[in-house]
Chains A and B, each alone.
Chain A
């Protein structure tokens, strides 16, 4: 009888140790898991996070109505610099994916056009087209059209740690500057918060 009890106790302790000694680091969104059952959640910024940020920023931009054309002529938007002030490498925080989603939806109905020769980081996206455009402008003595607005942004990171838990908050700030008034006409920010738990053992 005593041996059975000891065996049971041993089994219980062994299973507890096995559960506690997992070496895998688990990460969840502190506002709930990101995505559906099959998606991977990381301590960084997931594509789903970028999709949410892009969708909410577009909603904010549309609601403000700053990019609605005034005289039926499409608004020309210049994509300016997006600064990554986080500890993430540019490959882990794909700002072009975020900007690309916003750009694609903004231009969908032709009310907004994107200045094609500048992109995130300030280099022309299509160097050949850029060179041809510059040559054409020079030969035809055509004035270049400045963008009506420029879109820029910053991503910041805040890290808080307590025991084996780390909470990382990424703050995405986007702003729109009017070239006509040289003033900032829209700004919004969204947060992505990740809670990371390390196994104690």
Chain B
């Protein structure tokens, strides 16, 4: 009984609804993934990366992730920004940011470059 109760408590997944034919046009980025934690990659999957340039010249990057399990997961992410020469730009807000994702939920992890010099990015994910 206790085991069943515990199991059912953990399985809260998200139902969602959206436009059948989205009107937005995402500028998808061809990405390269380096997986060192297969457990996290299995649970929290990266579906795609798209980018946009804001009017001030700042790069805005959005990573769509999906919880492939039916239980809530916690992870942290961090955006690293690189200039046109590939040099890392140190920022004041560069720490790992905690994120909670419900079972089967899709969510967007968003980062805006701290400087208009940023031309490239890396997004790092770590399990909690």
Q: Which residues of A contact B (CB under 8 A)?
A: 29, 31-37, 47-48, 51-52, 54-55, 58-59, 62-63, 65, 67-68, 100-105, 108-109, 111
Contact B92 A100 (CB under 8 A): yes
Q: A31-B100, A55-B93, A102-B93 are in contact. List 18 more A-B contacts (CB 8 A).
A: A32-B98, A32-B99, A33-B98, A35-B76, A35-B98, A36-B96, A36-B126, A51-B94, A51-B95, A54-B92, A54-B93, A62-B112, A100-B92, A104-B92, A105-B91, A108-B117, A109-B115, A109-B117
Q: How many A-B residue pairs have CB under 8 A?
A: 84
Contact A105 B116 (CB under 8 A): no
Contact B110 A59 (CB under 8 A): yes
User: When chains A and B are docked, how far (Å) is the Cα of A33 from the Cα of B73?
Assistant: 10
Contact A108 B128 (CB under 8 A): no
The range of chain B's interface size is 20 to 34
User: When chains A and B are docked, how far (Å) is the Cα of A36 from the Cα of B117?
Assistant: 29
Q: Which residues of B contact A59 (CB under 8 A)?
A: 60, 110-112
Chain B binding surface, main DSSP class: loop
Question: Residue A32 contacts which of B54, B74, B113 (CB distance < 8 angstroms)?
Answer: B74
Contact B72 A48 (CB under 8 A): no
Q: Which residues of B contact A109 (CB under 8 A)?
A: 115-117
Q: For B72, give the chain A residue with the smallest CB separation.
A: A32
Q: For B110, give the chain A residue with the smallest CB separation.
A: A59
User: When chains A and B are docked, how far (Å) is the Cα of A51 from the Cα of B77?
Assistant: 12
User: When chains A and B are docked, how far (Å) is the Cα of A63 from the Cα of B59?
Assistant: 10
User: When chains A and B are docked, how far (Å) is the Cα of A189 from the Cα of B2?
Assistant: 41
Q: Which residues of A contact B91 (CB under 8 A)?
A: 104-105, 108
Q: Is residue B56 within 8 Å, beta carbon to beta carbon, of the partner chain?
A: yes
Q: For chain B, residues 72 to 127, give those with C-beta under 8 angstroms from any C-beta of chain A.
A: 72, 74, 76, 89, 91-100, 110-117, 126
Known contacts A35-B76, A36-B76, A58 near B56 by CB under 8 Å: no
Q: Which residues of B contact A62 (CB under 8 A)?
A: 54, 56, 58, 60, 112-113
Contact B58 A29 (CB under 8 A): no
